[in-house]
Amino acid sequence: MNEPDSFDLLLKERFDREASVLASISDPNVVRYVAHGLEGGLTPWIAMEWIEGRTLEAVYRAGRENPAQKPGPPELTRWFAQAAGALAAVHAAGVLHRDLKPGNILLDRQG
C-alpha cells in the first residue's frame, strides 16, 4: 500500500474534525453521533444513532394514500418546530446541513 500523501492527510483531518463536531452536538431532536473511522484505512464511515420510526416523506405518502392517516396541523406544527430546533442546534455547532428534505427528517415512534 502506498504512503498517504499530504492531500490524503488533509482529508482525514477534515473528516476527523467533522466527526468531532457531530459528536459535540447535543439536542433531543438531532440524531446522535456514535463512532467514525476508516474502513481498510481508505473508506470513511460515520455511525449514527438508530431511530425507529418513519421519515416525514413516508408520513406524507401514507396520508396521500389514506387520508385518515394524514397528519393534522398540530402534528405538523410540532414536527416543524422540532426540525427548526434541531437545525438551530446544528447551525450553532457550525454545521450547514445542505440536504434538508422530508426524506431526511426522521420521526421516531413518539413523533
Q: Which residues are catalytic?
A: 99
What is the DSSP track for 73-109?
A: HHHHHHHHHHHHHHHHHHHHTT---S--SGGG-EEET
Give the three-state DSSP class for 45.
Answer: strand
Whole-angstrom distance, CA of residue 19 vs CA of residue 33: 8
